[in-house]
Amino acid sequence: FARAARWVKVCERELGSASSELVVWEAVAHDADKFVALGHIATTSARPPSADIQNKFRLVNKAVLRVAQVCGGKFYSYNEWFIGDSFSLWGTPSPWGTFRTSLSGDAPGGPHYALDLRAFPAHLSHIKVVAVADFEAQPEAKPTKRYLSFKSGERLTITHYEAGNPWLTGYVDADPTRQGMFSDSHIQILDPAHSNLIALLRSQQR
């Protein structure tokens, strides 16, 4: 990760009904060819983001990213509240609610980036989850595949996942001999540190 070396103003619009404004910034690293911001920052003044934000904000090494489309969709377009030319805000391929700004109603130009889960070794973490629905394993023609049945409320541990694959591998905590594959749609992450895993997995499928 890298800190921002400078902040570039992307968009500045005055709010017509009040003495305030919306200013959007993009962070740029010293080594801009290597590090990139996954979204823009908005403030309500012409001053760059506060020292607190700057201390927390980091740019990500492209080595752990993949090129992706703006996939979150447009969630805000210019309206009569603002003075100036049109602009729009678009969700990014990140599950953390980050956004990028377009100076029109069209999607912002790229490239855009998202985390590439292939860059992270899945075996380093045993991720704790809870079943939110019953899952009944169906007979599989291929003997190399083994699916895991469980009931809603049972706790499981994920031992393996792959980018772009909705099927996880793990075991039931109460009986580790019950092992196999199961769908990510039937579980909920328990550990806050891994709360974005499912969203990341699904983003890789696009």
* Model pLDDT for residues 119-149, shown as the tens digit of each residue: 665 544 578 899 999 998 876 645 456 889 9
Interval 47-66 mean pLDDT: 89
- Percent of the chain residues topping a pLDDT of 70: 71
Looking at residue 25, its pLDDT comes to 94
- Average pLDDT over all residues of the chain: 80
Rg, Å, the chain Cα set? 21
The tokens for 61 are 């090494």
Q: What is the pTM of this model?
A: 0.58
